[in-house]
Amino acid sequence: MTKNEIFQLMNENPGFFLATVDGNIPHVRGMLLYRADEDGILFHTAASKDVYRQIKQNPHAELCFLDPKTNVQLRVNGRLDIEDSKTLKDEIINHPSRNFLSAWKESLPADAFYDDFIIFCLRGGKATLWSMETNFSEKEYINL
């Protein structure tokens, strides 16, 4: 699978699971992708969430996507960085797929909202694919 096919799989299946650690205890939760392309894999959360604190303490994480049409699992690991661009935050807030953010934004003063709205970006990660057909094969990694 090419990098562009990997990005396409992610964008077509935006719900994913994110694995982080808190000390030595792993935590996994469902997240919603904003966009995946050559510029990075973007998603967001709130600074008040445990996931934000965990990533601040240890920015290494793994994302797991599933394509239910093909039953292919895609795992991407790498370092998460914070994108603190008000322009990008506005783009995300105004995107039709993010209407659910408006109530959060309206509940806070503008400065407080922009401080609490955190965007993470994974660049240069390593991806690996899994399916029943490749279950016992050696893993192959694709640099993103």
Residue ranges per domain, the chain? Answer: 3-143
Mean pLDDT of 61-84: 97
pLDDT of residue 8: 98
Q: Mean pLDDT, to the nearest integer, of 65-87?
A: 97
> Does residue 77 have a pLDDT over 90?
yes
- Residue entry with tokens 């694995």: 19
Cα 119–Cα 121–Cα 123 angle in degrees, nearest 5 = 170
Model confidence over 23-58: pLDDT tens digits? 999 999 999 999 999 999 999 999 999 999 999 999
Q: How confident is the model at residue 105 (pLDDT cuts 50, 70, 90)?
A: very high
Query: What is the per-residue pLDDT for 110?
Result: 83
Smallest CA-to-CA distance from 114 within 129, 92, 133 is with: 92
Residue 13 DSSP label: S
In which band, very low, low, confident or very high, does the pLDDT at 133 lie, cut at 50, 70 and 90?
very high
Confidence (pLDDT) at 96:
96
Q: What is the CATH T-level fold of the domain 3-143, as seen in this structure? A: Pnp Oxidase; Chain A (2.30.110)
